[in-house]
Amino acid sequence: MKKRALGTNGLEVSSIGYGAMGLSHGYGPATERQQAVALVRAAFERGVTFFDTAQIYGAENEEIVGEALAPFRGQAVIATKFAFDLDAPAGHQVLNSRPENIRKVTEGSLRRLRVDAIDLYYQHRVDPNVPIEDVAGTIKELIAEGKVRHFGLSEAGVQTIRRAHAVQPVAAVQSEYSLWWREPEQAVLPTCEELGIGFVPFSPLGKGFLTGKITESTEFGRGDLRGTTFPRFTRENIRANQAFVEVIQQVAARKRATPAQIALAWLLAQKPWIVPIPGTTKLNRLEENLCAADVELSPDDLHDIDGAAARITIHGDRYPAHLQARVGR
């Protein structure tokens, strides 16, 4: 697996990472624990050195990543995220980035991940009740204490990124970015390039839509947020958006690749400091995703993809209003 530098702070990772969220959260019933551990280890054995989890995905998610990578300590970069009150009632996500809460939840992550220091620690969502300077200052202290190595932000707006970076250099910004959601190109990516910050796209396959495996007849299982929460996954919007998948399928056929590989290769071709983190619960999909690192898209390929995509109107919002209100602050 090729390596990439995430920004200019000395953080080097595999060109494709692994997002662990779906192992226990968001996309249906949790994967059996030892099966999940085996999948994370399989990713490492196939060259992945960048793994993404978060406190809000549930304690087991961090524990799975920690158990799986314990034999490879020092060889993998583990990213996790803070920003929520973990003592809030079940089913309630309450933002809390007060310095005392950051310190409290950090100890839990260190224990669950089985590490002495968190390699990359993102603020999961910007907390409007806590100045970002206080957040960045707390992380700066944790870095000085040896409990954190690098600071990151997730779904933050440009001014927040700049203010945080002035206090503690931001190593990476994580936001949704794919052929299906290109808003970061407007301001966030140029800011990252200016400041020397790496960019980590989550949902690089459009929550599975860009694989071509989801149709209007797809039945989402219990606990799968695509069936209950995300507007783009109503039957009507799935049907309307199939034209987008067809564009990717045409390029995939020409390149003898899969649609997922084309979608990931497109991201890799945008900037050398972009590292997508596709997630999966299946070994064959993991291997398929990682092979995207070897797919070379020519300037003509990229021109064809961008030109065709520009002529298609995407139907459906990315998030419902209450979740959209938490991003881009």
pLDDT tens-digit series, residues 148-166: 999 999 999 999 999 999 9
Residue 88 has pLDDT above 90, yes or no: no
Token readout for 86 is 């973990």
Write the pLDDT tens digit of every residue in 130-140.
999 999 999 99
pLDDT at 6 over 80: yes
Active-site annotation, residues: 57
Q: 309-328: per-residue pLDDT in tens?
A: 999 999 999 999 888 888 98
C-alpha torsion angle, residues 27, 23, 177, 153 (rounded to 10): 120
pLDDT of residue 205: 97
Architecture label for domain 3-324: Alpha-Beta Barrel (3.20)
**Alpha helix positions (H), the chain:** 33-45, 59-69, 99-113, 132-144, 158-167, 188-195, 235-255, 259-270, 283-290, 299-310, 321-324
> Beta partners for 77?
50
> Using 50, 70 and 90 to split pLDDT, how confident is the model at 91?
confident
Q: Which pLDDT belongs to residue 90?
A: 78
Q: How far is CA 141 from CA 37, 46, 80, 163, in A?
A: 32, 35, 17, 17
Model pLDDT, residue 236? 95
Contact (Cβ atoms closer than 8 angstroms) between residue 310 and residue 302: no
Predicted confidence band at 303 (pLDDT cuts at 50, 70, 90)?
very high
Confidence band for 28, pLDDT divided at 50, 70 and 90: confident
- 22-31, 45-54, 290-299: the lowest-pLDDT one: 22-31
Residue 257 has pLDDT above 80, yes or no: yes
Q: Please, what is the average pLDDT of the chain?
A: 96
Instruction: Output DSSP code: residue 314.
Output: P
Q: Is the pLDDT of residue 188 over 80?
A: yes
| CB 218 within 8 Å of CB 224 | no
**How does pLDDT run across 106-138, given as a tens digit for each residue?**
999 999 999 999 999 999 999 999 999 999 999
Give the pLDDT mean for 174-198. 97
Q: What is the largest CA-CA distance in the chain?
A: 54
